[in-house]
Structure 1
């Protein structure tokens, strides 16, 4: 993720990835079909698994009202199903990646998807809130096992000159989940039952499991990145502040996204099917935002693009607050304005991801890829924080309080960004002076 649904890499950053093993991996050949017979690429199947993971992580957001009514809990409590999933993913992904680093990649991917299938079947059959929460914990474990491993396999099976595209294809499954999977699941839940959406995710994960079992080659175990190495990367100059700022940006975004169903229903009076349309607008804008963020980082630099996009996101949340305060309910004007504002919020929030990677890659770091891999965990931490803060706002306030909570998170993110720029200015001057001494062909 990477974010929920946001890849760790971005189009604005080009990194030279190390080769695995003794050299560049050759296309895998099947052992029993004879020389020259190519095995089918596992990348589409890996992307399908990522699509299932991304859809599973956020699919309840459009159905909070139905889940809450069925299980006799408040929408805020239903929202915590997403927050707990995100928190466990954020903490579990780097730990599980380290603990399972010596295991067989194919077996690990199949086990992870099997856990996801089991979790969603359990959730679909859950008789009460506690069992559904347990199913979300299990789903978080499966997702945290799957996604880091899938991205590592994408690197391992692709030649060096195609690794960026391989990562983009697998990570594209997450983007597609936001653009298509979540709104489709919401529409399915509107026509049928919210439990049917979990069955849909289970079917997707089972399909990915079957295809991977058929086409996945044997993959060399990648080099281990320990938890200590990740913590050391986070302690590098500027990295921790950048990650904390990114966490706040994600918290502000997901404060709204997780509770988009009650927001849309209160402002416009639409039903669950209408919420699905708003989620489709959000998803399409997210895809566009990823492209815009990469181009903006190339054109203006990572830090400047990041600041502009966060400012736009903050302005969108302020406008959403005003919409909730002053626009007449159940009007066509409210429907149109909400769609426009959700598109602006989504596009700017998803544009932040490649700008964030560009910022970290531009720092003077010995292992920038390790530091960038932390973006996914901090993105999910932000999602969890947004769910908790949004739940409190909904329990004790209103949609206006919810939007203002998002605004507060973005203001804090901008303040951290400003502070980091001031603190790193002397270091940047030192790096620039060193680069002038080394010359354009020197360095690492």
Structure 2
């Protein structure tokens, strides 16, 4: 028998929208925390007398710890009230940013980044679980679109502000800003979020937690969804981490001008994220994912085969790239909330978040294997990344048809009986 969770009491429309924007702002702090490290690399190298590989290690520490935390969280995320767990993890995340800001040496900074990854990875899972608990399935695409604007906000406002502050007040200032902003959001979430404990009625005994975690990876439908998530994230990370150095070395864009490129892309996604979410609700997540993913092959290939063009042309192109790459995630994330049995939604989404982090790490690692700088100072091998990303995209377009929701699977036999 399929287990069910008592539906949450519907929130008034105004409060529901406020909750979604608070979740988006929470996610914004997590994304900004991760993204701002990369443009801070030159200042960190000067401050701690380290090599670029060491800065890359600090970035990697966050991603891998976020993946580990997602795996561990799937063992306990469904054992607590969603609101209380969000507030607790967000408080620890805020503390990790304070630790980054006051780090006396690079070793402490790396440990603080790892701590930020452990807490930030769990927050993403909790946010998606709250959407699954509060928002009916037919409106989750639009809800996910609102929360996904966090990426746009981070690209448009968060990272440029952090880099500007760092240039004037030192590398630690973006982390102090994150601490202040996180405290304000935490207080807003404490006041606005409702208690979400309807899933606790089917809480399993502690002795059953580990077998249930292993069981998540034995469900055929879950494995199909995990493969889609991992490949989707790997596709983007084959290309995205290397955009800035390629634009500087191969296209001739100045490092200071990179801000305008990302700003243009962020502004575009700020508007398109919600449009794609509503479109996903109208015509279905599967169909929208296929359309957007197929379209994304064009900007992926152009990005990795870009000729030397003027800065204004790069700025005009980048909104298409950002819209396509981030837009694929909106219908995919909405679909993921429907895959598991409702009582296991939190655990499934935690495991899925871990798979996404691992996919990101693998994509960045593999994407850098054959890149090298030639005698002219240009980065070679980037075009191969584009061909691999295009192939992975085509695979995901075909594979998404294998991913179905638990409610759909449960409804199918009933429909067949009715037809009979």
Which TM bucket (shorter chain)? 0.7 to 0.9
For residue 353 of structure 1, the aligned residue among 311, 329, 352 is: 329
Q: Which residue of 1 aligns with 2:252?
A: 268
Question: Which among 184, 195, 199 is matched to residue 172 of structure 2?
Answer: 195
1:137 equivalent in structure 2: 114
Shift of 1:162: 7.4
Matched, 1:401 2:401: no
Question: What do the CA deviations read for 1:335-385 (whole angstroms, capped 9, x no partner)?
Answer: 1232234322211111222343577799xx774995777654333223223
Change (3 A) 1:186 1:121: same
Contact 2:8/2:196 (<8 A) preserved: no
Q: Secondary structure at the match of 2:40?
A: helix
Q: Could you say which residue in structure 1 is the equivalent of 2:63?
A: 86
* Deviation, structure 1 residue 200: 1.4
Alignment partners' CA distance in 2, 1:297 and 1:165: 7
Aligned twin of 1:249: 235
Corresponding residue for residue 206 of structure 2: none
d(CA) in 2 for partners of 1:315, 1:71? 41
> Any conservation in 2 of the 1:310–1:414 contact (CA below 8 Å)?
yes
Count of paired positions: 396
Give the direction of change, closer, same or farther, for the CA distance of 1:341–1:127 in structure 2 (3 Å limit). Answer: farther
Is 2:365 the partner of 1:388? yes
Distance across 1 between alignment mates of 2:372 and 2:360: 18
> Residue 357 of structure 2: SS of its match in structure 1?
helix
CA separation of 1:342/1:164 partners in 2, compared to 1, >3 Å: closer, same or farther?
closer
CA distance 1:43–1:320, shift in 2 (3 Å): closer
Residues 237 and 363, structure 2, Cα contact 8 Å, conserved in 1: yes
So what's the TM-score if we normalise by structure 2?
0.74
Q: Supply the distance in 2 between the matched residues of 1:268 and 1:107 (Cα, whole angstroms).
A: 49
CA distance in 2, matches of 1:110, 1:237: 30
Q: RMSD between aligned alpha carbons?
A: 4.5
Unmatched 5+ stretches in structure 1 = 1-17, 29-37, 328-332
- Cα contact 1:43–1:166 (8 A) shared by 2: yes
Inter-partner Cα distance in structure 2 for 1:251 and 1:348: 14
> How much has 1:413 moved relative to structure 2?
0.3
What's 1:186 paired with?
A: 163
Equivalence for 1:227 = 213
For residue 411 of structure 1, what is the aligned residue in structure 2? 390
1:137, distance to aligned residue in structure 2 (A): 0.6
**Distance apart, 1:136 and its partner CA:** 1.1
Q: Is the 8 A contact 1:248 1:382 kept in 2?
A: yes
CA distance in 2, matches of 1:214, 1:296: 32
The SS at the match of 2:310 is helix
- Aligned partners of 1:172 and 1:193: how far apart in 2? 28
SS in 2 for 1:60: coil
Determine helix, strand or coil for the equivalent of 1:320.
helix
Please say which of residues 94-103 and 307-316 is displaced more in the overlay: 307-316
Query: Per-residue deviation at 1:120?
Result: 1.4
Aligned to 1:194, the other structure's residue is in SS state coil
The match for 2:265 among 265, 282, 287 is 282
Pick the aligned partner of 1:108 from 85, 90, 111. 85
